[in-house]
Homo-oligomer: A and B are copies of this chain.
Amino acid sequence: MNDRIARTLRNEPTDRPPVWFMRQAGRYLPEYREVRKRATFLDLCHNPDLALEVTLQPIDRFGLDAAIVFSDILVVLEAMGRTVTFEGGGGPKVDPVRTSADVHALLRPDVNQALPWAAETIRRFRAARPDVPILGFAGAPFTLLCYLIEGSGSREWTVAKRFLWQEPALATKVLDLLADIVGDLLEAQGQAGAAAVQMFDTWAGALTPEDYVRFALPAATRAFARVKSAPRIYYTKDSAPFLDHLKSTGADCIGLDWRVELGAARKRLGDIPVQGNMDPALLYAPPDEIRRRVRGILDAGGGRGHVFNLGHGIQPDAPITGVEAMVDEVKKWSARS
């Protein structure tokens, strides 16, 4: 078993930093687009055979140091009784929660019953590729609340934020419920054999620091407290505003976006392992520039306690030649003494 990820998350030395990247099983891959010709996005989330197939694709193509199970953060909202649709363009749509009655109608599913797919895909992956670690994941409670209240993606998340301020007790109730489900879902993936689990708090960066500390942070912390069986990675797309708070989620590793310099962020964060943080748009840059940036990030990471990754998910039209240059440059890196 490739143990670079496991060792890195324990801050132990490795021959080089491990590399995987967010949304690595996705639309930028022609083989993924082939599978999508015969299955919808939700089919992939709900069918471990298909999920395994696409989970393996970037592993087989690039020889990455970890797989990440194919799923979507919004399946949790389905299991809570809301309709989620991915087709039709403009991003996912959720039948939104707006009233107290809507909140009280939310289900508290048993994740093993209602959300079995990710754990099952992890078990199958472990059987198929015992040499490669696989990561589990879930959306963080606040980020899920954003979609649940707003009903779709948003630049400003005004409806979701208004709900926090107009109904703080109700919002906290929803966040606690989400945290318990998310925590159970991450733990189920850990028990199924995930080498680590990542929580995506993608939209926490919409909040003021006061609201982050009041709403998003306690909910993320509550979710992580339920996870005992695997190391926990906490990612937010806006790391810089919250650097001083991220560790208090209880995370074992902090996933950084590209708008922070990794070395400076480590100084602020202290001893905890970090993950990141190349700008996904750099994959469109000339290969020499990609390689130069990869080296800069690896140097800043210092070759220990650093999982190389993008700072956000890869974009659907990212060029594969860019990915190849990035991965190759990480693999070439060797610690300098």
Contact = CB atoms under 8 A, between A and B. Distances in A.
Given A284-B165, A285-B166, A289-B165, A209 B158 contact: no
A66 B285 CA distance: 43
A309 to B, nearest CB: 14
Interface in A273-292: 279-282, 284-286, 289
Given A158-B281, A259-B208, A261-B210, A286 B165 contact: yes
Given A156-B281, A240-B240, A241-B240, A208 B162 contact: no
A286 to B, nearest CB: 6
Interface residues of A, number: 33
A250 interface: no
Interface in A164-219: 165-166, 205, 207-211
A161 interface: yes
B284 A162 contact: yes
B281 A259 contact: no
A3 to B, nearest CB: 30
User: A interface, by DSSP: helix, strand, loop or mixed?
Assistant: helix
Contacts of A162: 281, 284-285
Contacts of A296: 210
Q: Which of A259, A260, A293 counts the most B-chain CB atoms under 10 A from its CB?
A: A259
Contacts of A289: 165
A207 B257 CA distance: 11
Given A158-B315, A211-B279, 18 more contacts: A156-B315, A158-B281, A158-B284, A161-B279, A161-B281, A161-B282, A165-B282, A205-B259, A207-B259, A208-B258, A208-B259, A208-B279, A210-B261, A238-B238, A238-B240, A238-B259, A240-B240, A240-B241
* In the complex, the 3 A-B pairs of residues with the closest C-beta atoms, listed nearest first: A165-B285, A240-B240, A241-B259
26 contacts: A155-B155, A156-B280, A157-B281, A158-B281, A158-B284, A161-B281, A161-B284, A162-B284, A165-B282, A165-B284, A165-B285, A165-B286, A166-B284, A166-B286, A205-B259, A207-B259, A207-B279, A209-B259, A209-B260, A209-B261, A209-B264, A211-B279, A238-B238, A240-B240, A241-B259, A241-B260
Interface of A: 155-158, 161-162, 165-166, 205, 207-211, 238, 240-241, 258-261, 264, 279-282, 284-286, 289, 293, 296, 315
